[in-house]
Structure 1
């Protein structure tokens, strides 16, 4: 039998693989994306949850990266308004730090210049009275508190939104399909997939390796991959703390010892604080990355250096959750993890009238631009496409401004509590009607499986969003793993065990 043939096969269902599949499918190409686990199950669900320019990259001289990132930040505010929201960051400056308020104000001024026209407030300096009233912030030797705006996002949902958008444009998007062999042909490649124990063979003129920290393993599947580049695996970890009282409404950018930056951000409707990230070399399997004891201690120390919780010091025992992601960065000659560039690096080679491209590095924020660059780079190897099209085009679920979306959710079924309707709006965007429709079509879909979780939502996650396990749903389709108690999580796990084969 002749194997099914595709123009492009994308390996990896993280943000970059999803973005390439979306862009290519929108140009009329026949695309297959294969992800060995779940979408965004590695680095793309373990970021700092930020859509940002990267303020510290200004100091490293990466002006082009900052400018592009801020341009893409403005783009995502328009195209994924249900997932990307502005957040004010406070930057406390102390006399013992090497960076003065004046040098930081100059950097923030350049940040404002690059982001002009995106509608976010300009940076500035808090009045002394307002700075003095900030809860828990240590006031000793405090010179100033500066402020600026960036954006936060649900990284896993953003990745899924890009992938589902690719599917609506004709791409075959498959999770739990591992690529096990890539064999060169005269004009492309034969690719073997493991579909849960069953082998499937396809052919593709072009293979794009977007496997994130696993790119080296994928390249080693074939002798026809581009020449290996110097790769640095860098682990970034975060800890989650209970939100103290009174709650923090703003995020903080903390200047730690040396050149590190640590963020402290409210998360999940202000119920928790996220503290991160680290930058440490990672050894071993990226799929087993976890927050080490040393990383926990470092982040707790960084928090306590700036904040004083009434009555006691925060310790490792206060941590309620952690996550860690491994970034595959193009190291060059730089070996210090915090200084390795986050700019992507693309390597390509020809295979007859086809080719193979590997993506190193990159940021969550700039995924759309990276996809354009990847397809453009394949042009000299024989890829013919229509022009770029993704700019200003809403992502899956992103076609309704946030205020309109929330007002629409309020008019949903009265049987669904208001807080659940709001959560659905900010999870599914303008696709919330797909979940509402399930409630109307089947009375059983209105069954509450866990507090605030209806069978309609679980069915939608399984049938539309390819969720196959409770972890898929609790950690990546939603963030209910921290909002439900053990009984609720067990009920979700039982539903998946009974209903998903």
Structure 2
């Protein structure tokens, strides 16, 4: 029997529902089995693993779901080709195994693709060496994919934008793509389906231990849990963990630029080597846009203040433009951008942060208090299992791996009908197997089938769904992490912001005047992150970015 629509939907999730559950969470005598601090992909994974095993689970996040690294990545589910050169075969093998699991359990949300790794004369690795490396990649994946070497002429036929006379050829190989923020949200939604409580905008200030439990202190209440897992990514420090948190994380900044696809019309994902560096850059089509990234530079500043600088723009354009000379890769063509911080495990002075391993590390400064740092988006499930092994040991309960590897991440709604005619709106890429549910709703109401912004593949039905079921508190939650409006076209998003803000505050029963404050809040956040990269998104411009 096909599941009903109510059983497919996650529990309603709004500011009002969070306020109600918070009163229950702080009630005297209530103790959770696990409290997870942080709602990025790692914290979401830990919450899901705990909830799937019947543990009472609370997630506390000081900002929003996927606020940091988990919404600012290269949007790939991959083994990590460049880690082969570092000799980190164990990480590549583990990541490729997790890629296989995600392709099976999150179809649509995680989708396979053929990547073209171009080689140019003067690159560090000749074509034959890259071919051998990607043959090893095939082996480590269990031959889930088959790489193929292409001479220069065949490479140009496959990807005409690679028109540099220095092109030597390419290797085509298999990997996968995702919407990182939506993947994180989907993991957390499955945790909620299994009873986890999630509270955003709840900052944890202090952890203290009593004989019976840990006390987690926030601005407006104290909750208790038998175990605490700190999964705060680049924000990890000694404030919650004491001396164990000092110097635990090495932050590396990664920047991406977004262009209209007509300006950078790649046919599929392209990989380019950064000259004289052990780094690569991806050029990936995304709906009717193309994004380019990433950088990999040390960052020692305030993680809340990370943003795209003019130097970041110049660095990326200097790498990509000579390889794609016919693309319109100029600062004036940038329509979106974002900057994130990788929370790498600090391992002394490695020189180049690109050489720092992407493995993860778990520390336990006191019994029942764990922290996890490092890792990759792709390996979040395995990382979460490693944490739960220790949680189970502390709680004195048995633990069995693989529970989440066999369970669909998103309920299958295919019995509700096809996604058509909304394939071009990218519904499957954002909602996975639940896309037919939103498509059926859009077919029933023509107003919900309209695009939110002309030229962007986001539908009004997604706004309705996000406001009711996806925990949007502020406007930037909606347009930055539930839906990629601010990433796909920052200026167009700002133009639509007043209308969307009115819908947000009306859905929450807030005063109409709050809409203006939400628009201002969004504008400030965008200015802080990308104001230096996208002319017209900040109140005063200090002149155009000079092209390198």
TM-score higher than 0.5 here?
A: yes
User: Secondary structure at the residue paired with 1:135?
Assistant: coil
Q: Aligned residue for 1:129?
A: 153
**Cα contact 2:178–2:429 (8 A) shared by 1:** no
Instruction: Provide TM-score, normalisation by structure 2.
Output: 0.80
Matches within 5 A, 1:199-278: 199-216=220-237, 219-221=238-240, 223=242, 226=244, 228=246, 230-244=248-262, 247-269=265-287, 271-278=288-295
SS of the counterpart of 1:18?
A: helix
Aligned to 1:180: 205
**What are the equivalent positions in structure 2 for 1:332-347 lying under 5 Å apart?**
332-333=347-348, 334-347=350-363
Change (3 A) 1:405 1:53: farther
Deviation of 1:317 (Å): 2.3
Alpha-carbon distance change, 314 to 409 in structure 1, aligned in 2, over 3 angstroms? closer
Q: Distance in 1 between matches of 2:319 and 2:442?
A: 47
Structure 1 unaligned regions, length at least 5: 411-417
Whole-angstrom CA distance in 2 between matches of 1:396 and 1:298:
38
1: CA distance, partners of 2:311 / 2:424: 40
Deviations 1:215-265 (A, max 9, x none): 11xx42355x74645421111111112224682112111111223333333
Cα distance in 2 for partners of 1:246, 1:346 equals: 41
Cα pair distance change 1:169/1:385, threshold 3 Å: farther
Partner of residue 14, structure 1: 40
Q: Which deviates more, 235-244 or 4-13?
A: 235-244
- Residues 245, 190 of structure 1: alpha-carbon distance in 2 compared, 3 angstrom cutoff: closer
What do the CA deviations read for 1:387-411 (whole angstroms, capped 9, x no partner)?
22111211024x46xxx6896223x
Instruction: Tell me which moved more, 315-324 or 25-34.
Output: 315-324
Aligned to 2:514: none
The question of 1:467 aligning with 2:472 is answered yes
- Distance across 2 between alignment mates of 1:366 and 1:497: 37
Distance across 1 between alignment mates of 2:330 and 2:415: 40
Cross-structure match for 1:45: 71
Measure the CA separation in 2 of the matches of 1:405 and 1:368.
28
Deviation readout 1:13-66 (Å, 9 max, x if unpaired) = 000000000001111111101111110011100000010100010110100000
| Secondary structure, aligned partner of 2:419 | helix
Would you say the 8 A contact 1:238–1:276 is kept in 2? yes
- Larger CA deviation: 230-239 vs 245-254: 245-254
Residues 284 and 255 (structure 1 numbering): CA distance in 2 closer, same or farther, change over 3 Å? same
| Count of aligned pairs between the two proteins | 474
Q: How does 1:143-182 map to 2 (within 5 A)?
A: 143-182=168-207
SS at match of 1:327: strand
- Name the SS for the 1:48 alignment partner: coil
5+ residue gaps in structure 2? 1-26, 511-548
- Once structures 1 and 2 are overlaid, which stretch shifts more, 129-138 or 5-14? 129-138
Please name the residue that 2:21 is paired with. none
Deviates more, 1:126-135 or 1:355-364: 126-135
The superposition leaves residues 65-100 of structure 1 with CA deviations (integer Å, 9 ceiling, x where unpaired) of 000000001111111112111222212222312212
